[in-house]
């Protein structure tokens, strides 16, 4: 038997005590109490991301990329918390220090990764299939672990492996919104659908006297967002020295359809009756109720399949170097670290003032333009800026945005669309300065002070 290790990355010290637990599904014990049953299913205060390093044990790039991603965010966050510059931070290796660069660029990268650790929880399994990883085998003994999930398969053909059960239990307890499962054997980024049920030939339909081809049957409801996410991932991954840019498309189109695949299970097991396993998996020793149904909030994860390299185990000479983590150059491991950072960031949108202090304050004496950037997204359709007087009442309800907005004064809406952090073609900017996602709004500080009757706005 092999132990399954799950790495959990977040800034635990800043989690509110009553929200320290991550999301749970409806039947996980705590719901027995009537009061508990009325609470939302997901009690996590932070968006949750899932990283799988090696569902197939003989594919070696994924585990290295997963570990390197976790270490990079953790070490950068420690540097930022201890107020070290990247050049002098003792938590970083010499290669990582070189990778961050110098001066303002390095400081922005440290601040960005620290923001991710404070606002997300990442659950990572570097060796998702530990038996296969330890024995250099694709399978867990004789079970293909990526055919072992309760989706578009027979009841007797799922939940046979310890790997499948461990991942199933994680998803029953957490609300993962974005995930990556690393594989090897080709180079591509794929997304839903990958189920045989949706791998049907496109049909023609009549339109007047013309015949038009119907849309592909394997278009998932979230196809547009998955196209945007995979595009951002391919952009930051880069290419060079014989390593090509990632191709990207739906799994049925670019890889092949499979019964019991983790990707479609993670995405649709809670809501798509066409793919569900009626009555759950019938394997001995694992309750059928564990796979018969899922909480409505779970298993809605945009799970992207990343085929990291044509060679499943290397060669190590093409893995890359840790002093090139932010360079859009070759390296199967380094480019998948950048790709994983996209997944961690894009799980939830956020805005950040460009010229605020560490405490979030902006000091202005007169009328001026305020600038802010938008991350965790590919595109901004419009924005509205609210401002209000920061008085005793505001301080007392600071945690309630809705109550503050009742007393706020808003500026004119800006209906201009613009790219967010992952919506333009400048990968170097997205991984560093993030200047291309900046929006601005006019703000009259003198008028605000007159209205508020003081200096705090």
pLDDT tens across 280-321, in order?
A: 999 999 999 999 999 888 999 999 999 999 999 878 889 999
Please provide the DSSP assignment of 149-162 as one string: SSSSS-GGGSS-SH
Q: Tell me the C-alpha distance between 137 and 98, whole Å.
A: 36
Q: Measuring CA to CA, which residue among 164, 170, 56 is closest to residue 121? A: 170
Q: Tell me the C-alpha distance between 369 and 366, whole Å.
A: 10
Q: Starting from the edge strand earliest in sequence, which strands make up the sheet with 367-375, in order?
A: 350-353, 367-375, 438-444
Q: Could you count the other beta carbons within 10 Å of the beta carbon of residue 139?
A: 20
Residues 316-349 pLDDT 10s: 889 999 999 998 878 999 999 999 999 999 999 9
- pLDDT value at residue 29: 38
- pLDDT value at residue 2: 82
Which has more pLDDT, 408 or 36?
408
Please report which confidence band the pLDDT of residue 150 belongs to, taking 50, 70 and 90 as the band edges: very high
Residues 231-242 pLDDT 10s: 999 999 998 777
Main-chain dihedrals φ then ψ at residue 414, nearest 5 degrees: -110, 105
- pLDDT value at residue 30: 42
Which has more pLDDT, 33 or 251?
251
Q: Could you count the other beta carbons within 10 Å of the beta carbon of residue 441?
A: 16
Residues 165-180 pLDDT 10s: 999 999 998 999 999 9
Q: Tell me the C-alpha distance between 380 and 333, whole Å.
A: 31
Please report which confidence band the pLDDT of residue 215 belongs to, taking 50, 70 and 90 as the band edges: low
Main-chain dihedrals φ then ψ at residue 438, nearest 5 degrees: -75, 135
Please report which confidence band the pLDDT of residue 355 belongs to, taking 50, 70 and 90 as the band edges: confident
- pLDDT value at residue 250: 95
Which has more pLDDT, 210 or 277?
277
Residues 246-285 pLDDT 10s: 999 999 999 999 999 999 999 999 999 999 999 999 999 9
Residue 403 has pLDDT above 80, yes or no: no
Main-chain dihedrals φ then ψ at residue 266, nearest 5 degrees: -65, -30
In the chain, the percentage of residues whose pLDDT exceeds 90 is 67
Q: Per-residue pLDDT averaged across 426-454, rounded?
A: 84
Q: Per-residue pLDDT averaged across 352-357, rounded?
A: 78
Q: Per-residue pLDDT averaged across 18-34, rounded?
A: 43
190 in Cβ contact with 304 (< 8 Å): yes
CA 282 from chain centre, in angstroms, equals 32
3-state helix, strand, coil in the chain (%, to 5): 35, 15, 45
Residue 148 has pLDDT above 70, yes or no: yes
Q: Per-residue pLDDT averaged across 148-174, rounded?
A: 96
Which has more pLDDT, 11 or 217?
11
- pLDDT value at residue 402: 59
| CA count, 13 A, side-chain hemisphere, 237 | 28
Which has more pLDDT, 367 or 194?
194
Q: Six-digit token pair at 210? A: 């013309």
Please report which confidence band the pLDDT of residue 404 belongs to, taking 50, 70 and 90 as the band edges: low
pTM of the full structure: 0.89
Q: Tell me the C-alpha distance between 81 and 91, whole Å.
A: 11
Residue 62 has pLDDT above 50, yes or no: yes
- pLDDT value at residue 24: 39
Decide: helix, strand or coil at residue 47. Answer: strand
């Amino acid at each position: 038997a092999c132990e399954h290790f799950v790495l959990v990355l977040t800034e635990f010290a800043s989690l509110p005590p009553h929200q320290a637990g991550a999301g749970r599904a409806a039947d996980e014990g705590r719901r027995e109490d009537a009061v508990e049953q009325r609470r939302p299913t997901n009690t996590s205060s932070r968006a949750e991301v899932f990283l799988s390093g090696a569902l197939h044990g003989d594919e070696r790039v994924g585990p290295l990329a997963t570990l390197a991603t976790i270490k990079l965010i953790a070490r950068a966050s420690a540097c930022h918390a201890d107020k070290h510059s990247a050049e002098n931070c003792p938590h970083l290796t010499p290669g990582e220090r070189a990778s961050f660069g110098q001066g303002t660029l390095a400081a922005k990268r440290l601040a960005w990764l620290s923001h991710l650790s404070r606002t997300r929880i990442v659950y990572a399994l570097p060796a998702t299939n530990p038996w296969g990883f330890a024995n250099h085998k694709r399978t867990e003994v004789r079970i293909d672990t990526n055919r072992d999930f309760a989706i578009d398969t027979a009841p007797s053909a799922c939940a046979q492996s310890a790997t499948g059960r461990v991942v199933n239990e994680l998803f029953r307890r957490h609300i993962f919104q974005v995930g990556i499962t690393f594989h090897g054997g080709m180079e591509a980024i794929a997304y839903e659908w990958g189920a045989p049920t949706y791998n049907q030939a496109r049909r023609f339909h009549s339109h007047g006297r013309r015949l038009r081809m119907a849309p592909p049957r394997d278009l998932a409801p979230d196809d547009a967002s998955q196209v945007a996410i995979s595009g951002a991932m391919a952009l930051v991954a880069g290419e060079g020295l014989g390593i090509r840019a990632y191709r990207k498309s739906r799994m049925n189109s670019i890889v092949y359809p499979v019964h019991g695949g983790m990707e479609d299970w993670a995405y649709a097991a809670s809501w798509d009756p066409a793919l569900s396993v009626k009555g759950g998996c019938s394997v001995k020793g694992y309750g059928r109720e564990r796979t018969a149904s899922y909480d409505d909030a779970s298993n809605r994860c945009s799970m992207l399949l990343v085929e990291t390299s044509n060679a499943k185990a290397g060669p190590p000479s093409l893995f890359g170097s840790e002093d090139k983590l932010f360079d859009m150059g070759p390296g199967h491991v380094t480019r998948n670290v950048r790709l994983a950072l996209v997944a961690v960031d894009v799980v939830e949108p956020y805005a950040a003032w460009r010229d605020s202090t560490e405490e979030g304050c902006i000091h202005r004496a007169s009328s001026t333009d305020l600038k802010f950037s938008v991350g965790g997204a590919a595109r901004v359709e419009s924005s509205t800026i609210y401002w209000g007087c920061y008085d005793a009442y505001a301080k007392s309800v600071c945690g309630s945005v809705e109550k503050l907005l009742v007393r706020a004064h808003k500026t004119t809406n800006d209906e201009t669309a613009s790219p967010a952090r992952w919506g333009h073609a400048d990968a170097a900017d997205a991984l560093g300065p993030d200047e291309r996602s900046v929006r601005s709004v006019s703000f009259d500080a003198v008028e605000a002070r007159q209205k508020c009757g003081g200096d705090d706005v």
